[in-house]
Structure 1
Amino acid sequence: MSRAFVKEDGPDNTPLPDLPISPHPNYVTPCGLQSLRDRMEERQAELARLKARADRLDTLPERAAERDIRYLSARIASAIPVDPATQPQDEVAFGARVRVVDEDDVETTYEITGEDEADAAQGRIAPHSPLARALTGASVGDVVEWNRPAGRVSLEVLAISYG
């Protein structure tokens, strides 16, 4: 195909809008910071692979990779590493793994991690989440109130561990 029929500037070639950056402090565990760096390397390698393609008529994948790299760069630059081993061992703080029991005697374990590490399905919660805020500062035996959209729940702290 002749280059005369290829549109080189316009909405198909504009950068994708940046992903939103959280206004909260970017606390990360050492593992979380390494994960951000690994994701950055993966996206940079993917971008290089995409730019090396012979057929580059569809630039959307490249623009998506560039957007992701901008996001990851910002998150790495703003990272505030916190080593869970340096946290107070007798109370809940960033990096803690907390085992709790609710009013129905259901035990659950949560881990307070950085936003980019948070995954509700795995029990990892961001430090600014309502649950993490309720748990922060609690000790074993304390009962905390977690205000959820579905209603208030009382949780007793059974165990706290780090690392």
Structure 2
Amino acid sequence: MATELFLEKVPTHLWEPLTARDEFHYHMLDEKLPPVPENAERIRHPPTAHLGALQVLPFDLLYLILPDLDLHELNNFRCLNRRAMEVVESLTVYKEVTRYAHQAVRGALSIGTGHYMSYRLLYEKLCTWKCETCSNFAGYLFLLTCKRVCFACVSSKRIFLPLEPSHAARRFGLDPHLL
């Protein structure tokens, strides 16, 4: 709430140039991500290693714990070995999110917000249709805060218009090296 109050005081001429809009198109992060290389279908060999200390846990417990790891950590765990990959890829939330919102995962990881959201949270947000600001249909996921938002809110509300690091440093009196 305090952020919204602060942003209401920011003059329009400071934040309008930060938006990449034109008359017919609102530029989104997924347009700026590099294309995903097309891989030949992977040949899967059965796992030869196990999960180490986690091997003693029942799979039911792993299925409860793993979806709550942040995106970055679960992807790191998945890369541990073929057994870890098999376990992660059997998670329902992982399968659904990577199937229907792979670009959201890539975007969150590329801008560094993947440390603050889990696959479970992302799945819950993707299953929601209401804008968290105005309750209209939300066709967008704002990756900085992992909120579902409608086009009207994401393109007009100041809370969804992030500042560049140089502007934030100047506005809040921060050392630019800290950003």
Larger strand share, 1 or 2: 1
Larger helix share, 1 or 2: 2
Larger Rg: 1
Q: Relative contact order (C-alpha < 8 Å, sep 6+): which is higher?
A: 1
TM-score by length of 1: 0.27
